[in-house]
Chains A and B, each alone.
Chain A
Amino acid sequence: MNAYRADQGGRVERGASVAFSFNGTNLSGVKGDTLASALLANGIHFVGRSFKYHRPRGIMSAGTEEASALLGIDRGQGRYDTNIRATTQELFDGLKAESQHCWPSLRWDMGVLNELGGPVMSTGFYYKTFMWPKSAWEKVYEPIIRKSAGLGRAPRAFDPDCYASRYAHCDVLVVGGGPAGLAAALSASHKGKKVILADEQAEMGGSLLSDTGSLINGEAAQAWLASALATLVERDNVTVLTRTTAVGYYQQNFLGLVERLSDHLRVLDADLPRERMWRVRASQVVLATGAIERPLVFAGNDRPGTMLASAARTYLNRYGVRVGNRPVVVTCHDSAYLAAFDLANAGVGVAAVIDVRDDVPAALLEKAGRLGIEVLGGHTVLAAKGGLLVSAIVVAPVQAGGPARTIDCDALLMCGGWTPSVHLFSQAKGMLSWRDDLGAYVPGRYAQNARSAGACDGRFLLLEALNGGDAAGAGLSDPISDTYTVAEETHSSGISLAALPTSAKPARGKAFVDFQHDVTIKDIRQAVLEGFHSIEHIKRYTTTGMATDQGKTSNLNGLAIASEALGRPIVDIGLTTFRPPYTPTSFGVFAGYSRGDLFDVTRKSPTDRWAEQHGAVFEPVSLWRRARYFPQPGEDMDKAVARECKATRASIGISDASTLGKIEVVGRDAAEFLNRMYTNPWTKLGIGRCRYGLMLGEDGFVLDDGVVGRLAEDRFHVTTTTGGAARVMAHMEDYLQTEWADLNVWLTSISEQWAVIALNGPNTRQLIAPFVEAIDLDKEAFPHMAIREGKIFGVPTRLFRVSFTGELGFEINVPSRYGLAVWERLMEAGAKYDIVPYGTETLHVLRAEKGYIIVGQETDGTQTPDDVGMAWAIGKKKPDFVGKRSLERPDIVAPNRKQLVGLLTEEPRTVLEEGAQIVAEKSASPPVDMIGHVTSAYWSECLQHSIALAVVEGGRARMGEALYVPMPDTVHTVKVVDPVFYDASGERLNV
């Protein structure tokens, strides 16, 4: 039995011991403990060190607001987590926890030396020094600062866990499973609404879990909780999610909820995701997120053993743990007395209640008296003493001059009032309003369909929570119903303080506002002194509220102190924005399933499997993976490509062009539509003929290209680039639907419907002839740039006679499901012609030998048709087409634009680097006047010479000129030539 475990009470199972270790020491807790409650049961408060001064810190809360007790938890195999709040980590057998941010050990931490520099290390000190000598910032100061910063250990291994996500829709989403949330879920589900109820804790119940005295409808609070939960679980229209935090509230009632599925388990199931992101769209949201108790600001308020009063009560009532044997309570609010009374009732000797208020309610005084608790009204705390645990506090009357008195203690429980948790309300863009009586912001005007109930709405009574939740869940117009009764509940009230008054002059010791970042009251005052008057400036200058708790306990105290220092009301200095996530949330659960192969869709062509089986090396091209080359044993890319190129020009090469975008343009006005979308003229294109089409954006720059075949008077088969397919479709639809709705045209994407097998080489006609039906393949009957419909291997085909290589070529379109079969038949039949499969790399070489551009490689969105030598593709007689007007702008018609040319290196075996720059002067030092760049460069096996395409200023007027390509270590000399390197007359095409 743990030394500090009460004999009875709480929701833990005392008989079920749970072993764990802390900084290597073996300890035990019981089933139902959190790590924090188990540590406290063992009498351990001191668990960590603060960020800046490395001061010893204990456990300050019992929930997600914890700013101090952050531990590393190691589950092995890459499962190491930093900054875990001991207060929310459920205990499991074998849990290993360790302190962080201390060296060499928690007890003997060298970092405490930082505090010696204290006054010099005043707020923002790093903006004012470390500047000399200049180079020392990066070499000396920054590395030291970086090393001393950062709370948790850096990850070192892969995370073996997986993460899940799902969508959900509901009528009412209830966030928070305390009394208000439960009542809301009950009334909403009673009306037949589809309800999701989510709570961040392991158990539903919120404040009810540590409520041992209240009677709801005559029933003990925890008994009511049990039956309420049973009712909800029984209802089919309710989803109850524990361990689930609403982390973000987005547009139109869309919320992200993170459900933690395995961090509390001893044994991990390999198939169980660690966490799940619920993406919930709710018709209505009920926020029942409760409130967080505020610490008090006084000298030494960070000694281990100091915690929120309600936390001490929670540890006692929920976990059966006494946080000390002689606690002292400091408060300005009635609610702290509940902790004192419960502790006294459990046999703990409460040293005293120090109440800053002169007028302590008589009922509280009377009850304290009955329990033998001394109450010092009108008193304040001058200092808290102790090293690794608080040992005494020095108190004195608020009215200066009274005698100071030292009270020994082993725990210090503080209460500075309550702050409604309006984080989600605020994330949803609601407008907060200030309540002077509460000293806090509460929900004001809602921006979305949501309601708040209970403490987060500034209604702190259990009765108000229940009836407020009931009304919100049922959608009543009144904020509160009268469904529930609660016996003998009295209003709890208090005052708000920026800091405890102190007569010590000057105030000694540090009074902390932000416990994790070590921001003190003096820091905030200094920031104000230095002219940081907006709360955002104060936050950023002092870093208050920017730690892992994001200011859950510090923001309002910080505001109040700034307000005092500025002499202006709190509402005048603004409020920092509440940002998602509500609590720190793993990257893994945001990524969800989108990891590894599922990070992005991979589109595969019909022959992908064949290519894989035949050793293809792939490359990603937009969403596709395409075979880049097919190496044979011992071949690298250069050798494979040389072989593929040679084979294609010698006999037959086969490649998969299925990734090309394909759009069928149909209708009476199809030709007119294409006239407007492409630079080329289409009206006179004969049926069964093809034409190369060039498409511009309205800005006049090349957007896409492809071959267009006319199947009938009113039917065109348009092809696009692989990456441009969706963009071209959207572009066409846009003009058709919104500018030229009068045209009778339909557009259908047929990219997925047709597999495309490109055959190139002098023997292609002979290869396919035996298998083609209903198409005359004769060179006159089926000339270059023509399209025919028929069959191949008995399968319907749209057969294009086109070429992107300069050889006799056919692109065999067959329905996608036949793509692989036709490919395999062609490989089989092609064996006697030494058919060779080739990939994108060979494709690029072969087309570059012919000077054919690739949109996106020779162009980058700044080229006009003339720039790439395609003025011929512009239908001169057309009055208009998309982009035409832009071609007449002054800088587009200006001379000396960059134009497409070919380059030959002086040294034939030197292949230029794609992206290399071109200059006119051989030797020059930067900045050098660059006149162009290399867009494509390859070794041409057929020409036995390297070739390159480039864009060069005034390039077409420079034919034969020598230019230079400077590399880091050398300069290549190149000659400007026509971009067509191979078969300029096109004889090989027209065979």
Chain B
Amino acid sequence: MVHFSLPTLVGKAFGKNKGWPQQWSKPEPKKNYDAIIIGGGGHGLSAAYYLAKEHGVSNVAVLEKGWLGGGNTGRNTTIIRSNYLCDESARLYDHALGLWEGLSQEINYNLMFSQRGVLMLAHTVHDVQVLKRHVHANRLNGVDNEWLSPDQAKAFCPPLNISPKARYPVLGAALQKRGGVARHDAVAWGYARAAAALGVDIIEQCEVTGIRRGADGRVAGVETTRGSIGAKKIAISAAAHSSILLAMAGIRAPIETFPLQALVSEPIEPAFPCVVLSNTVHAYISQSDKGELVIGSGTEQYLSYSQGGPLHSVEHTVAAICEMFPIFTRLRMLRNWGGAVDMTPDRSPIIAKTPVPGLYLNGGWGSGGFKATPGAGHLLAWTVAKDEPHAINAPFTLERFRSGRLIDEAAAAAVAH
């Protein structure tokens, strides 16, 4: 692997930039692997990287049916934060946030991780109660999150409308300063490059069509569009397609797939310094380094893999943005797209062993998976390597839906009752 740095850039420039190696190689699939990870998004690629780096398991293949990072990794609004309410969630997401800090240097790829602060708005008395509950719980969990008055929120985010006459006035906000954004595509590419350098095979255009099991019930390998591949262990990390892959192993999951839309504006000069989320009006927004305002909406109501959504949802999201930031009405939408997210009943993920020996699941991240990328991969790698969960992901089982030990961030989020 060529080390990326300014001297390298200068050196390659002298060679007319014709001496760059492939960032990740393009091997043919081998007959057998110690572990196969299904899904070449940020989560799967980081799991492969940590398997090789921290567990010495490098006979690993990542199978991607399309192009790396083409699912939710390349479609999300890149928000990173860890100020979750439940202790289990706060530990999980803060573990990820800790890994984000320093990740660019570790994998030698500038992920443009920018801790510019994430502001979550309270518009009702109920929102205030809920977000303050977050702030207190986070503080005691060692997760930074602080309460801002409307004026303080305005000072932190000048375009914010804090008029008390607004239909949903801003009554305050929770701010996580360590939260921020990162360049989503770079996360997939950076992990792919780092994993490939450690010997991981990254195989694109390779769709898994079946999961083979031995007579003992253990997984034995996968059938793919590029042939049959053997594996001792298989981890599913395929976001919206979790159910489809689990079904190949005969598992019905507490997961459903919903569309989610996002959009960007035309690029403008720096106008928006942080990230703002509002659950009550269903919109979130930040500005990319390129200058585009990046805006996300809530999920659609119906199950769908279409990766598209209706006009009226986009209209609502943009209206919410104009309501919070009225000076943005003349900006123009440049591009609007959809993704598909896998939702669990308690809106928390599953990173766990499955009832099938040798089969592991990392899924159910809903709309919140990007922020967890390093953490999810790290914990999945641990779980696969040791065949048991790390303490942090131990609560995120499939069994919790049977026993009733839910980790209900949905209830804890500002869902008005």
Contact = CB atoms under 8 A, between A and B. Distances in A.
A and B touch in the complex (CB under 8 A): yes
Interface of A: 78-83, 119-120, 122, 125-132, 134, 137-138, 142, 145-147, 149-159, 161, 163, 165, 248, 250-251, 254, 256, 277, 279, 429, 506, 522, 526, 529-534, 536-537, 540-541, 543, 548, 550, 574, 577, 579-581, 584-588, 590-592, 594-597, 599-600, 602, 619-622, 628, 699-701, 721, 723-724, 855-857, 859-862, 886, 889-892, 913-917, 919, 926-928, 930, 933, 935, 966-968
Contact of A155 (B190, B327, B402, B403): B327
Contacts of A857: 126, 129, 417
A156 B269 CA distance: 11
Contacts of B403: 889-891
A130 B8 CA distance: 12
A115 B87 CA distance: 51
B24 interface: yes
B168 A585 contact: no
A445 B28 CA distance: 33
B66 A131 contact: no
Given A155-B327, A586-B331, A859-B417, A916 B25 contact: no
A721 B416 CA distance: 11
Nearest to A536: B67
A145 B289 contact: yes
Contact of B12 (A122, A146, A591, A933): A122
Closest 4 CB pairs of A and B: A856-B417, A150-B291, A861-B411, A915-B133
B50 to A, nearest CB: 20
Interface stretch (B137-145, B210-218, B242-250): B137-145
A152 B330 CA distance: 12
B270 A861 contact: no
B140 A930 contact: yes
Contact of A122 (B17, B104, B329, B412): B17
A158 B134 CA distance: 33
B194 to A, nearest CB: 13
7 contacts: A248-B336, A591-B329, A619-B125, A622-B416, A856-B417, A862-B412, A915-B131
B227 to A, nearest CB: 19
Nearest to A101: B269
Contact of A620 (B23, B124, B314, B406): B124
A138 B266 contact: no
B331 A155 contact: yes
A610 B140 CA distance: 45
A933 B137 contact: yes
Contact of B311 (A250, A522, A596, A699): A250
B314 A590 contact: yes
Given A256-B311, A860-B412, A156 B113 contact: no
A127 B186 contact: yes
Contacts of A119: 13-14, 16-17
B327 A158 contact: yes
B291 A926 contact: no
B336 A580 contact: yes
A862 B411 CA distance: 7
Interface in B390-417: 400, 402-406, 408, 410-412, 415-417
A129 B9 contact: yes
Contact of A917 (B6, B70, B137): B137
Given A153-B268, A155-B271, A930-B87, A122 B9 contact: yes
A967 B104 CA distance: 35
Given A534-B66, A581-B336, A129 B6 contact: yes
Q: Which of B13, B116, B140, B412 has the most CB of A within 10 A?
A: B140
Contact of B328 (A277, A587, A966): A587
B109 A127 contact: yes
Q: Which of A149, A165, A913 has the most CB of B within 10 A?
A: A149
Contacts of A122: 9, 12-13, 17
A591 B327 contact: no
Contact of B318 (A129, A131, A590): A590
B48 to A, nearest CB: 16
A602 B166 CA distance: 12
Given A152-B266, A585-B333, A913 B136 contact: yes
Contacts of A968: 139
Given A584-B334, A927-B142, A891 B291 contact: no
B327 A889 contact: no
A594 B315 contact: yes
Contacts of B268: 82, 150-155
Contact of B410 (A861, A916, A966): A861
Contact of B112 (A126, A536, A700, A966): A126
Given A149-B290, A586-B330, 4 more contacts: A588-B322, A699-B345, A915-B130, A967-B136
A531 B291 contact: no
Contacts of B114: 137-138, 142
A159 B330 contact: yes
A131 B9 contact: no
B5 A890 contact: no
B129 A915 contact: yes
A134 B108 CA distance: 11
Given A149-B267, A150-B268, A151-B267, A588 B329 contact: yes
Interface residues of B, number: 115
A895 to B, nearest CB: 13
A966 B137 CA distance: 10
B271 A154 contact: yes
A587 B4 contact: no
Contact of A860 (B13, B23, B267, B411): B411
Contacts of A79: 330
A535 B76 CA distance: 19
Nearest to B292: A150
A119 B8 CA distance: 12
Contacts of B197: none
B256 interface: no
A637 B402 CA distance: 46
A867 to B, nearest CB: 12
Contacts of B326: 158-159, 595
Contacts of B417: 721, 723-724, 855-857, 859-861
Contact of B4 (A128, A600, A721): A128
Given A120-B10, A926-B139, A149 B110 contact: no
Interface in B1-41: 4-6, 8-10, 12-14, 16-18, 20-26
A530 B267 contact: no
A886 B290 CA distance: 50
Contact of B269 (A154, A159, A862): A154
B140 A131 contact: no
Contacts of B74: 536, 540
B334 A531 contact: no
A161 B67 CA distance: 43
Nearest to B327: A155
Contacts of A967: 136
A587 B331 contact: yes
Contacts of A724: 417
Contacts of A595: 319, 322-323, 326, 329
A130 B110 contact: yes
B156 interface: no
A621 B17 contact: no
B330 A131 contact: no
B414 to A, nearest CB: 10
Given A590-B314, A723-B416, A142 B329 contact: no
B70 A127 contact: no
Contact of A891 (B141, B270, B404): B404
Contact of B136 (A82, A586, A916): A916
A131 to B, nearest CB: 5
A632 B380 CA distance: 60
A131 B136 CA distance: 34
A587 B402 CA distance: 45
B323 A599 contact: yes
A580 B261 CA distance: 12
Contact of B319 (A130, A530, A594): A594
